[in-house]
Every structure is written in structure tokens, then in C-alpha cells.
Amino acid sequence: MNMAWKEIKKNKGRFMILGSIVFLVSFLTFIISGLANGLSQDNAALIKELPDGSFYMDANADETYNLSKIDPDTQSNLLNKQAEAAALSIQMGFLNNKNDKQQSVAFVTSTDSSLFPKVKEGEVVLDASMKDTGIKVGDVLTNNQFSGKFTVKGFVDGKKYSHAPVAFINSENYKEMYRTEEMQLVFVPGEDKAQSVAGLQAYSKKQFLHTIPSYNAEQMSLNMIVWFLVVISGMLFAIFFYMMNVQKIGLYGILKAIGVKTGTLFKMMWTQMLLITAGALSLSVALSQGFKLLSPDGMPFSLTLDTTIQLSIVFLVIGFIGATLSGIQIKKVQPLQAIQQGEV
């Protein structure tokens, strides 16, 4: 007999309260997680969309790519070893449209590689979000540090850096604008293990993302909120089942007296935890996916299926731990005590 389900059916109100609390906490967790991922994409999509590989930066740059200058000979040696490898530089700046209105962009230039758009001198390829500002293919844009003009050649999707749309420009134009001959970084895709190169420091993609100061601070804060919410939900389970178990101590004692196994009582509690969590999670997954569709265009929100599944599993594990900890009372309860306590 499924006692767990029968108790839920008989005490709908009590279990609905727990279910709605778990739903609210998990929904909030999904939303904040979606925002964390969205901001992460908004901050570093340019890097995150690259395949796994190694970034090389000047060892004296103190983990700051802006300060990095890679010696051209070292760069050539590295690029010669891998056809898809690219040297690149990133600088924040502005583009002016025909009305002289400034748009904040991240200028990116690279050596020839299929990983980055090919751009001729005087051309610019922009992130697709720039279309929203009214810029079209063929428009002419200017920059205060550049003597020439940029003609918009096309748009690419999902290329953002430091919350700004990326503007891919030719390396000759970049050199003129930022008065430098050296590139900041070399990216070698597909490397399982970075090579040791004199004067350079190697970073995995994940390590490189953490050298971006705003990315680290932003993600740490949001992830902390997400994990706090997960821990809170675990505590809610523990407290709720503790309260329920305290109320049912007498009943558990009687059930033990008539021969019900302690394991059966634990299974009953776990089944209830599983049913409530699964119900609450289904609802919050559905609503958070709905939120993804309805959220305003400008809101950075990205909730992938992987993240949803991972968080759901974490919620189930936390709920299980919370309920089990509170269930220690079930193990302790003595049938005799319950019989002597009176009516349950």
C-alpha cells in the first residue's frame, strides 16, 4: 500500500504549503541562474563561443590581457604549429554613426583564422545586437582614433564582450587606432594540455574567463545567490519534515509496534519528498522556460536544458538529504513510548 501518497491525499493543504515553498525557491533559483548565465554570455560570449583550447598571454602582464604584448616571433612560432590558431587583441572603444551618435563596442582584431570573421581594411563586422540601433550593412561608421572610415560589411550572432557588442576590424586599422604592433593574445584551439612557451603564460578557456575582472565578480555574486537558495531549500525540507515527524512520532511508534519496518517509514518520507519536489520542479521549470520566452529582448537571460537538469538534480539531492536528516527521529522512536503517550 502506498501510505506516502495516501497521506498526501488526505493532508493536501499541508503538503501544498511545502510544495509551494519549494516551487517558489526553485523558480527563483532558475530565474537567477538564467540571469547569471545570461550576464555571463553578455559579458564573454566572444570567448565562451570559442572551442576548447589554450590562451597565451605575456607572462609579465599580471593576468591582465590589456597589458599583454606578445613578441611577433613567438607569435609566429605558435601560429605555425596549428592552422586554426589565431592571435587576437581586444580593446573597448566607440563607433560613431552618421549622426555622430556614439555606440560602445569591443574592438576585436585577429590574424587569419576560421574562428573569427575575415575583415578587410576599412571594413567592420558587428554583433547582430547593433542592428537594434538602426545600423545596416553598408552604413559608414567612424572612430575618433581612426583616420579612415569603417563600412559595415555584415553582422554575426552572439559576439559580445564586457556587455558590449563586438566590432571585428582589420589588424592594420587596429594598429593605427591603438598605436601598437603587438597582439595581446594567442588562442590555440583543441589543445588538451597547453604548451610551455618562454615568456608566455597559458590559460585554459575557463581560466582565461576568470582573468576578466567584471566576469569574475558578477558570476561569483550570482552563483552565491543560487547556492544560497539551494541550501535554503534543503533547510526548508529538513525543517518541514522535522515538524511533520515530530507530530507523527506517536504514529511511527505505533506502526513500529505492530511490526512496520523503520525502512518502510523512511521510504514513505522519501517518496513524499520526491513527489513534492518533482511536482514543484516541473512547475518551476515550465514557468522559467515561459519567462525565457516572455522576457524583454534587452534582458540577458539564458537558461539551458543542461543547467535546468543540473539544478533539478541538486534540488532532489538536497531535498533527500534534508528529509533524511530530519528522519533520524524515526529511527530513534521507541514503540513503547508511543503507546504510553496516548492517542495519536
DSSP per position, 280-338: HHHHHHHHHHHHHHHS-TTS-----HHHHHHHHHHHHHHHHHHHHHHTHHHHH--HHHH
Neighbours of 187 (CB within 10 A): 28
Whole-number minimum distance, CB 339 to another protein, in Å? 5
Whole-number minimum distance, CB 19 to another protein, in Å? 17
- Picking from 190, 189, 105, 191, the residue whose alpha carbon sits closest to that of residue 143 is 105
CA angle 46, 52, 58 (to 5 degrees): 75
**Residue nearer to another protein on the CB measure, 7 or 218:** 7
Positions that interact with another protein (CB under 8 A): 1, 3, 6-7, 9-11, 250-251, 254-261, 335-336, 338-339, 342-344
CA angle 202, 206, 211 (to 5 degrees): 70
**Residue nearer to another protein on the CB measure, 126 or 255:** 255
Give the whole-angstrom CA distance, residue 201 versus residue 54: 10
Give the whole-angstrom CA distance, residue 166 versus residue 310: 31
Name residue 255's amino acid: L
Whole-number minimum distance, CB 22 to another protein, in Å? 21
**Residue nearer to another protein on the CB measure, 148 or 263:** 263
334: Cβ contacts below 8 Å, ≥ 6 apart = 253, 256
Taking a C-beta distance cutoff of 8 angstroms, is the pair 241, 21 a contact?
A: no
Whole-number minimum distance, CB 283 to another protein, in Å? 24
Helix (H, G, I), strand (E, B) or coil at 212: coil
Whole-number minimum distance, CB 251 to another protein, in Å? 6
Residue 125 pairs in a beta bridge with 154, 168
Whole-number minimum distance, CB 271 to another protein, in Å? 14
Taking a C-beta distance cutoff of 8 angstroms, is the pair 167, 126 a contact?
A: yes
**Residue nearer to another protein on the CB measure, 39 or 276:** 276
Give the whole-angstrom CA distance, residue 126 versus residue 123: 10
Write down the residue that cell numbers 604549429 correspond to: 81
**Phi, psi (deg, nearest 5) at residue 210:** -75, -10
Whole-number minimum distance, CB 327 to another protein, in Å? 18
Give the whole-angstrom CA distance, residue 203 versus residue 216: 15
Whole-number minimum distance, CB 311 to another protein, in Å? 32
Give the whole-angstrom CA distance, residue 310 versus residue 266: 25
**Residue nearer to another protein on the CB measure, 82 or 272:** 272
Taking a C-beta distance cutoff of 8 angstroms, is the pair 74, 60 a contact?
A: no
Write down the residue that cell numbers 576585436 correspond to: 108
**Residue nearer to another protein on the CB measure, 258 or 293:** 258
**Residue nearer to another protein on the CB measure, 88 or 254:** 254
**Residue nearer to another protein on the CB measure, 258 or 305:** 258
Whole-number minimum distance, CB 343 to another protein, in Å? 4
**Residue nearer to another protein on the CB measure, 200 or 269:** 269
